[in-house]
Amino acid sequence: MTEKTFKLPDVGEGLTEAEIVQWRVKEGDTVAVNDVIVEIETAKSLVELPSPFAGTVSSILVEEGRTVEVGTPIFQVAVDAEGKAPAKKAAKTTKRNQGTAQAAEPDGPPASSLTGTGPKADAVKRRPRRSGLRASAGQPPAPSAPPAPSAPVAPSAPVAPSAPVASAAPARPEPAPVPPRQDPRSQAVAAAGAAVQDRFNQLLQRVLAKPPVRKAAKDLGINLADVPATGAGGEVTKQDLISYQAQRESEVDSADTFWTPAAGPEDTRIERIPVKGVRKATAKAMVDSAFSAPHVSIFVDVDASRTMEFVKRLKASRDFEGIKVSPLLILAKAVIWAAARNPSVNATWAGDEIHVKHFMNLGIAAATPRGLMVPNIKDAQDLSLKELALALNNLAGTARAGKTPPADMRGGTLTITNIGALGIDTGTPIINPGEVAIVAFGTIKQKPWVLDGEVIPRWITTLGGSFDHRVVDGDLSARFMADVAAILEEPALLLD
């Protein structure tokens, strides 16, 4: 039997660390090759790791919630020579060891087992297979018949008058001491008893509570050992937890009445959120971009009334039945079209070179429960309007579910951020690292607009663009934004 250790792998794009989110197995479980063992969170996405070994999970080395570096051992699997789990062999060995124990007394109470269960408790209740087989060290031999009466006194030996006469029920003789035997089977039983003792000690030290109560205490930041238990057998109940939390909040409220500024790091009203995963990666990328690429931003107001009419017609079309269509689809097509007319906005600054890319991996900034993510649509320039709509729907759904694969996060060339979905008019976006341009799409709403000398209500939006001034000059950025605005004002230009 051998121990196989699994180390945290690099799941893509040179990531150096990941957080252990959830273990799908526990110690003692039997797994096969490619069974999902653990779910991890990288700076890019959630990833399920399969087991490369078949066997029994012998040790989980990293608890949930910890962030570890790539190459760190995270779990171990015990396998036999053929790579199979040794569960059956271990069960047979345990059964053979249990069969060597005997009962301590036929008519008396059985030898105590600390928990009343387990291999030792079972062993002391079982009759020996042979009458000559002795119990483990420290246990007297089990008599098979009532003890014989004491030997009679010889006639020639006078009995003193004061000597007591033997009673009718002879006293039980003291058993002769049995020297300890170096029996491997007895040693195995003793070892099993020691294991039961250790486990029992651990149970005594652990606070009793059901899993939902433990989770609620963890979420509230409460140590269960501090909660007075009223449940049966000393168990902390949900009501105990609620009462303790209410008392703790009342103490905080009363302390606020006489609050002084010297709260310090122990102020319970300050929530401390560890920076890790997507948030950590986003923070680093934004700082690197903001302080390495000289940003220049420009804005343009656009009459998107015809875009709104076009979107309405697409929604009513049978070709787009069941497909979510929004103005973002038209903007995405406009950005692809405008980048083809102004190729240098679809590039990368490489120090001594500028790499202009004649393909479009269109990134869409998506707000997810795990933070900001920017997956991209590969070769978006080759997609029809319907194919682009399907790709946008799939990208958004996958990102919100936290299931974006690392491959979809790599290789973006130009990004769109839709801040209008939150009712924001415009903003100054930060360029995604490795790119030189980003377009912010503001909300579309009716405003008074001058058209042919008359003030009439029109659907107006504001576009904001940020550009790396090392690559994109002011003239080029203005022409690019004007081309994007032209498509939103007249989507029919896409037919050219």
Take residue 157 and report the two structure tokens written for it.
């030996």
55, 85, 115 — which closes off a domain?
A: 85
Spatial distance between the Cα atoms of 325 and 315, rounded to a whole number of angstroms: 6
In this structure, the answer to whether residues 248 and 367 fall within a common structural domain is: no
Type of residue found at 358 = H
> What is the pLDDT at residue 96?
45
In this structure, the answer to whether residues 315 and 462 fall within a common structural domain is: yes
In this structure, the answer to whether residues 325 and 421 fall within a common structural domain is: yes
> What is the pLDDT at residue 231?
81
In this structure, the answer to whether residues 342 and 438 fall within a common structural domain is: yes
- Cβ atoms of 74 and 68 closer than 8 Å: yes
- 469 catalytic per annotation: yes
Expressed as residue numbers, the domain containing 249 is: 211-256
In this structure, the answer to whether residues 381 and 422 fall within a common structural domain is: yes
Strand partners, 355: 348
In this structure, the answer to whether residues 305 and 234 fall within a common structural domain is: no
* Number of domains, the chain: 3
- Cβ atoms of 256 and 232 closer than 8 Å: no
List pLDDT tens digits, range 223-238: 888 888 888 777 888 8
In a domain, 484, yes or no: yes
Burial of 72 (0-12, 13-18, 19+ CB in 10 A): middle
Q: Which residue's structure tokens are 């076009």?
A: 310
Q: How far is CA 270 from CA 250, 263, 370, in A?
A: 17, 10, 21
> What is the pLDDT at residue 399?
84
In a domain, 126, yes or no: no
In this structure, the answer to whether residues 376 and 233 fall within a common structural domain is: no
Among 295, 355, 358, 469, which one carries the catalytic annotation?
469
In this structure, the answer to whether residues 455 and 489 fall within a common structural domain is: yes
In a domain, 204, yes or no: no
List pLDDT tens digits, range 316-336: 999 999 999 999 999 999 999
Which parts of the chain have pLDDT scores under 50?
83, 85, 87-169, 203-204, 256-260, 263
190, 225, 256 — which closes off a domain?
A: 256
In a domain, 269, yes or no: no
Find the CATH number of the domain harbouring 75.
2.40.50.100
Type of residue found at 121 = A
In a domain, 200, yes or no: no
> What is the pLDDT at residue 409?
85
> What is the pLDDT at residue 160?
44
Find the CATH number of the domain harbouring 288.
3.30.559.10
How much of the chain exceeds pLDDT 90, in percent?
32
pTM across the whole model: 0.53
> What is the pLDDT at residue 466?
95
In a domain, 171, yes or no: no
> What is the pLDDT at residue 71?
86
- The number of angstroms, rounded, from the C-alpha of 393 to the middle of its chain's C-alpha atoms is 26
> What is the pLDDT at residue 227?
86
In a domain, 174, yes or no: no
Q: Is 55 left (phi over 0), alpha (psi -120 to 50) or beta?
A: left
List pLDDT tens digits, range 261-313: 554 556 677 777 787 777 777 777 778 787 778 899 999 999 999 999 999 99
Q: How far is CA 370 from CA 70, 233, 277, 364, 396, in A?
A: 21, 41, 8, 16, 14
> What is the pLDDT at residue 430?
92
> What is the pLDDT at residue 93?
42
List pLDDT tens digits, range 84-105: 545 444 444 444 444 444 433 4
SS (H, E, C) the chain: CEEEEEECCCCCCCCCEEEEEEECCCCCCEECCCCEEEEEECCCCEEEEECCCCEEEEEECCCCCCEEECCCEEEEEEECCCCCCCHHHHHHHHHHHHCCCCCCCCCCCCCCCCCCCCHHHHHHCCCCCCCCCCCCCCCCCCCCCCCCCCCCCCCCCCCCCCCCCCCCCCCCCCCCCCCCCCCHHHHHHHHHHHHHHHHHHHHHHCCCECHHHHHHHHHHCCCHHHCCCCCCCCCECHHHHHHHHHHHHHHHHHHHHCCCCCCHHHCCCCCCCCCCHHHHHHHHHHHHHHHHCCEEEEEEEEECHHHHHHHHHHHHCHHHCCCCCCHHHHHHHHHHHHHHHCHHHCEEECCCCEEECCCCCEEEEEEECCEEECCEECCHHHCCHHHHHHHHHHHHHHHHCCCCCHHHHCCCCEEEECHHHHCCCCCCCCCCCCCCEEEEECCCEEEEEEECCEEEEEEEEEEEEEEECCCCCHHHHHHHHHHHHHHHHCHHHHHC
Residue 480 C-beta-side C-alpha neighbours within 13 Å: 27
Residues in contact with 77: Cβ distance below 8 Å, sequence separation at least 6, in sequence order: 3, 4, 6, 31, 51, 53, 54, 55, 56, 57, 58
Find the CATH number of the domain harbouring 236.
4.10.320.10
